[in-house]
Amino acid sequence: MNFLYLFVIIPLLMMGGVVLLKSDRAIKIFMLIGSGVLLAASLILLPLFFEARALDPEAAMVMRSDIMWYEALNIKLSLGIDGISVLMIILSAVIVFTGSFVSWAMTEQVKEYFLWFLLLSIGVFGFFITVDLFSMFMFYEIALIPMYLLIGLWGTGRKEYSAMKLTLMLMGGSAFLLLGILGIYFSAGINSMNILEIAQVHIPVEAQNLFFPLTFLGFGVLGALFPFHTWSPDGHASAPTAVSMLHAGVLMKLGGYGCFRVAIYLMPEGAETYTTLFLVLTGISVIYGAFGAVVQKDLKYINAYSSVSHCGLVLFAILMLNQTAMNGAILQMLSHGLMTALFFALIGSIYGRTHTRMITEMGGLMKIMPFLSVCWVIAGLASLGLPGLSGFVSEMTIFVGSFQHDDLFHRVLTIVACASIVITAVYILRVVGKILLGPVQDKHHEALTDAVWYEKIAAVTLIIGIAFIGLLPFLPSEIINDSLTAVISKL
Amino acid sequence: MQSYIIIISILILALPLLNFLVLGLADSRFSHKTAGTIGTFGLSIVAILSYITAFNYFFDFGKIDGVYQKFTQSVEWLRFSDTLHIDLGILLDPISVMMLVVISTVSLMVHIYSLGYMKGERGFQRYYAFLSLFTFSMLGLVVATNIFQMYIFWELVGVSSFLLIGFYYTKPSAVKAAKKAFIVTRFADLGFLIGILILSYFTNTFDFGALTDPNGSIIGNPASATFMGFSVLSWATLLIFMGGAGKSAMLPLHIWLPDAMEGPTPVSALIHAATMVVAGVYLVARLFPLYFFVTPDVLTVVAYIGAATSLFAAVVACTQTDIKRVLAFSTISQIAYMMVALGVSGFGGHDGLGYMSSMFHLFTHAFFKALLFLGAGAVIHAVHSNEMGDMGGLRKYLPITHITFLIACLSIAGIPPFSGFFSKDEILVAAFHHDKILFACQYLVAGLTAFYMFRLYFGIFWGKETHYHHTPHEGGVAMSAPLIFLGLLTLVTGFVPFHDLITTNGVSFAAHIDWAIAIPSILVGVAGIAVATVMYKKPSDIPNKVATAFNGFYVATKNKFYFDEIYLFVTKKIIFNCISTPIAWFDRHIVDGFMDFQAFWSNMLSSNIRYLQSGRVQQYVWVFTASAIVIAALVIF
């Protein structure tokens, strides 16, 4: 049996376990163990992948296997991975793992919460292990639906509104996406949904010009492409901590990954046609998101706008259509996934204590909760691109790669995008200065306690990931580079 | 030979990093004493290893056939493309070895001094951890083999500086100063980064060796493309200089440095006087052949910005009353001096005097300015105030501080035989041969420097007899020993034969003191001291009279020519209120409003349509009949 099935089977088994278990505490412990197993499986996948790769160095994807689903349309469940999807699977497993830890504090309807949470992770994992358009789309939808309930039921603030908005906007995106996918399927004309097989044929340029923007937009909505990003601030602000983490950390990456794997890989000429338009939009995302974050007062809004900016950079780099920039884009996905998850975890911990997310109502937390504060500073420094942490590596790869473009316009846009490093510093330091440093704002906060074991484990795991990419960037970078060849050769 | 020196250099870098990790992770699990001992002991080893490296390099194997060589050892860290990759490594050449000595010496002195100065402070362990982090980053910066490695450590020193300025993090002014320092230098770093991108695009390399080889293809056959009337490489080097100007507090990016004095005083001595702030000078020196051969126009810009900054800062220093701020402006002025020296320098032999004198001044300045700051720290420690108004007559209470401070003042004023005289004199000679305007400007600055330093000196140690609540006293051996050691260095470093050691092309040249320039420069220094003596040695009303006579100018100077206000206006009013707030509003009300509007009209539409499906049979019949008639009518007519 293909090892990849495990990433769907384990969460399915966990769902069964959660249904059977009685007490909340048992469910939580079971979740910790299960997510630990998932994380272990994702790490074991790495050597398995290298082994498979060594056997078949030419193939675009390894560990392939197909199951026929619907003979009449030749729809199969096709599995397969390359280095990029392995890294994405590891990222997802890390976020699910840490998300389970921070959910320890969950008290309401624990069983239902974890069931939806697991369904969401099935969608995410399924998306990364499949290589055919039909299953990808299916898993994509599986990942979207639980969001609605998770935010609407377990959220805070205007949760019904946010849940509805998020779901409708993303569904709108997937309507575009469905058109795009069907377009690809019919214009490729080989009666196959398999990406690898479609990549072998040349889709007519007119069809590419028609369907590339649809596909790109469809995934782009999830990747917070301006002006379709507004679900993100409201959605993140209302979602419970672990859902914010999973959503910003992994789900938004589905957008970037899809743009790269489906839109650009299958329709390179269509991409060429539309790069200017979309580069401008993503460039706006980068700068606009950063400026938007500068004046927000709610920690989750700040982080949401910051995500708009960082994820904008992912799409920006993908559209540069060169190897270095794309490498940077994937690194940026990993880096952003880890650090935004860390941010949301910390926001959850701080909110759980102070019962406010408004930066105007907090101050001097460094003295009260040194552990959480130091983690926050580390996340902040990663976000503003301090060398030795992951943000620097990915941003520099993107900037250097983008600047290698021979067209002056692209280089000028790159310089504009570079300016985000200054604005990022402004909003990160504003928050650090406001809530962590300075005198204690609220006397009641002085009695608060620092992080407890499950928060510490989550934060430390994420920081290890951030530092790993930051200190040893050549390891992921080489894996990605190797896997990019298939895409680059089509450009 | 070379391999063992590389191992030593790696150790020089690794020890402070290890210290940082150990002290940072253990934090309050260590006692103050343990943390201080670990930090200081580690640094002493680093200092010793640096001296071994320097000795071996300069006097043993560094010179081959009369030319100092560059030794490089690096490993690839991150590959962008076949030609572009970030390497991490160690480059040993005269300037990097010289910097190793400067950094490790000053850092060691600061480590020892802090044992006394920071005694009993909350967060003592954290303080030592940050000092180690800074030392590691700064050492990494100077031995960088390529411009991207330099950028990496450049950012790391920036963040260590942020952490140390904000060390007293419960104090809002310290937090503000730390933020300001980081953001202003970050803005400058943006220029640096874009400069690197442009440079690497047109030269296809980050490597200093390739970029600065006078016989290499980059300098021999530079890219000819232009952008907006200037060659692309001029843009690149200009933007890179912008990064240097940010770190080295050149006009108009200097505003962060005076505020950075909010940090503990030993930190100011280490970071904001001796080491980090000269990184900009070091950067230009590192790329000097590129500036000189390929973009001489930019080098002229460097010289003039340097001259303007040094004059500006010297004038402002004359009116400040916070002793650390006087020293901060003095630092800006002196670093600008080094920039001028680089700007007027030629290449090769005696033409490279400017380059040599710039490095020489960097070297001597590091010690006497660290001494001044540590002396100021001793004074602050004794009287618990930064304001000159609270001081006076301290010579009786703080004899060691007094003497060493006087030595440093004489040195910076350019009086022989103190070290500042020698290096400053070489700079003036270089300026004189290159550009008379720059020379005149620097000559004036020399006089001003002597004046404001002695204003400071007399204000602290002479002047009015202030009544102190507690009798001021010296801070103990830990604080006095570094003062004495640095005082001795100030006496001897002027005699180091720099023209033999550090030159543009590695070949030594003959240099001697040009008395035709030296004597007038001594005279202007003496004149400055004389004026300060008259005005400040005894309490008098001359200063007030002078201030009243030049009222407008005095007020403008005291307010540092309103640069802070301009910046505040730009950041608060323009960026915050005119860009960010409108964007946030636009996003919520226009972009998101559009999305909500979609939902709104869908809702409206459906709630209107739903009346069509009311379930009342009479209505259906009525509609059916009416429609049938209308359709029939349409068909018939």
What pLDDT does residue B619 have?
A: 80
> Minimal Cα distance from A226: which residue of B?
B591
Gap between the terminal Cα atoms of chain A: 35
List CB contacts of B199: < 8 A, sequence separation 6 or more. B147, B211, B233, B236, B237, B240
What's the mean pLDDT in B448-464? 86
C-alpha span between B353 and A480 (Å, rounded): 50
Cross-chain residue pair B175–A401, CB shorter than 8 Å: no
What's the mean pLDDT in A125-135? 90
Cross-chain residue pair A397–B80, CB shorter than 8 Å: yes
> Minimal Cα distance from B226: which residue of A?
A408
Helices (H), A21-132: 24-55, 83-102, 110-129
C-alpha span between B218 and B206 (Å, rounded): 12
What pLDDT does residue B1 have?
A: 54
Lookup: tokens for B157: 């020193």
The answer to whether B358 and B498 are in contact (CB under 8 A) is no
What pLDDT does residue A35 have?
A: 92
Amino acid at B152: I
Cross-chain residue pair B190–A418, CB shorter than 8 Å: yes
What is each CA distance from A223 to A286, A314, B103, B274, in whole angstroms? 12, 8, 46, 47
Q: Is the dihedral of CA A219, A222, A226, A230 positive or negative?
A: positive
* Domain count within chain A: 1
Q: What percent of chain B has pLDDT over 90?
A: 26
Indicate the pTM of the whole model: 0.91
What is each CA distance from B406 to A112, B31, B443, in whole angstroms? 76, 36, 22
Q: CB contacts < 8 Å between A and B, how many?
A: 130
What pLDDT does residue B582 have?
A: 80
The neighbour count for residue A456, using CB atoms within 10 Å, is 16
The answer to whether B19 and B41 are in contact (CB under 8 A) is no
- The C-alpha of B375 sits at a distance from chain A's nearest C-alpha, in angstroms, of 29
E strand or H helix that includes residue B521: helix B515-536
Residue B207 β-bridge partners: B146
Chain-centroid distance of CA B295 in Å reads 23
Beta-carbon-side half-sphere exposure of residue A396 (alpha carbons within 13 Å): 31
C-alpha span between B486 and B497 (Å, rounded): 19
Q: What is the pLDDT of residues A382-417, one digit of tens each?
A: 998 899 899 999 999 999 999 988 888 888 899 999
Cross-chain residue pair B81–A324, CB shorter than 8 Å: yes
Amino acid at A135: S
Q: What is the pLDDT of residues B623-634, one digit of tens each?
A: 888 888 998 888
What pLDDT does residue B600 have?
A: 81
What is the per-residue DSSP string for B25-87? HHGGGS-HHHHHHHHHHHHHHHHHHHHHHHHHIIIIISEETTEEPPEEEEEEEEESSSS-EEE
C-alpha span between B317 and B328 (Å, rounded): 8
Q: Nearest by CB to B591, which of A168, A230, A400?
A: A230
Q: What is the pLDDT of residues A292-309, one digit of tens each?
A: 888 888 888 899 899 999
Q: What is the pLDDT of residues A62-79, one digit of tens each?
A: 888 888 888 877 888 888
C-alpha span between B243 and B231 (Å, rounded): 19
Residue A184 contacts B where some CB pair is shorter than 8 Å: no
- Which DSSP symbol is given to A63? E
Q: Nearest by CB to B152, which of A226, A387, A401?
A: A387
What pLDDT does residue B524 have?
A: 86
CA dihedral angle for residue B450, residue B453, residue B458, residue B460, rounded to 10 degrees: -170
Lookup: tokens for A414: 């790159």
E strand or H helix that includes residue A133: helix A133-154
Interface of A with B in 20-79 (CB under 8 A): none
Q: How high is the ipTM of this complex? A: 0.91
Residue A5 contacts B where some CB pair is shorter than 8 Å: no
Cross-chain residue pair B190–A393, CB shorter than 8 Å: no
List CB contacts of A81: < 8 A, sequence separation 6 or more. A4, A45, A49, A61, A62, A63, A89, A128, A129
pLDDT at residue A158 tops 90: no
What's the mean pLDDT in A243-261? 89
- The C-alpha of B159 sits at a distance from chain A's nearest C-alpha, in angstroms, of 8
The neighbour count for residue A255, using CB atoms within 10 Å, is 26
> Minimal Cα distance from B176: which residue of A?
A433
Q: What is the pLDDT of residues B554-609, one digit of tens each?
A: 777 777 777 777 777 777 777 777 777 887 788 777 877 777 777 788 888 887 77
The neighbour count for residue B469, using CB atoms within 10 Å, is 7
| Angle of CA points B537, B541, B546, to nearest 5° | 100
pLDDT at residue A104 tops 90: no
Chain B contact set for A295 (CB, 8 A): 576, 580-581, 583-584
> Minimal Cα distance from B583: which residue of A?
A292
The answer to whether A209 and A113 are in contact (CB under 8 A) is no
Chain A contact set for B575 (CB, 8 A): 294, 426
| Cis amide leading into A439 (omega within 30) | no
Strand extents, DSSP E, B179-242:
226-227, 230-231
- The C-alpha of B152 sits at a distance from chain A's nearest C-alpha, in angstroms, of 6
The neighbour count for residue B205, using CB atoms within 10 Å, is 18
Q: What is the pLDDT of residues B386-405, one digit of tens each?
A: 888 788 778 888 888 888 99
What pLDDT does residue B583 have?
A: 79
What pLDDT does residue B79 have?
A: 87
The answer to whether A395 and A313 are in contact (CB under 8 A) is yes
Lookup: tokens for A210: 């028609």
Domain boundaries, position A370: 3-490
The answer to whether A256 and A329 are in contact (CB under 8 A) is yes
The answer to whether A382 and A335 are in contact (CB under 8 A) is yes
Average model confidence (pLDDT) for chain B? 86
- Which DSSP symbol is given to A202? P
pLDDT at residue A51 tops 70: yes
What is the per-residue DSSP string for B348-387? SGGGGHHHHHHHHHHHHHHHHHHHHHHHHHHHHHHHS--B
C-alpha span between B339 and B430 (Å, rounded): 12
- The C-alpha of B466 sits at a distance from chain A's nearest C-alpha, in angstroms, of 33
| Residue found by looking up tokens 């301290």 in the block | B394
Chain B contact set for A168 (CB, 8 A): 599
Question: Which of A100, A62, A96 has its CA nearest to residue A81?
Answer: A62
- The pair phi, psi for residue A201, each rounded to 5°, is -105, 165
C-alpha span between A347 and B552 (Å, rounded): 51
Chain A contact set for B159 (CB, 8 A): 381, 386
Chain A contact set for B170 (CB, 8 A): 364, 367, 437-439
pLDDT band at B34 (very low <50, low <70, confident <90, very high): confident
Give the SS3 label for residue A2.
Answer: coil
Q: Nearest by CB to A393, which of B78, B178, B182?
A: B78
What is each CA distance from A250 to A171, A264, A402, B239, in whole angstroms? 18, 20, 24, 37
Q: Nearest by CB to B580, which of A291, A414, A421?
A: A291
Chain-centroid distance of CA B468 in Å reads 36
What's the mean pLDDT in A36-58? 89
| Residue found by looking up tokens 């920006």 in the block | A316
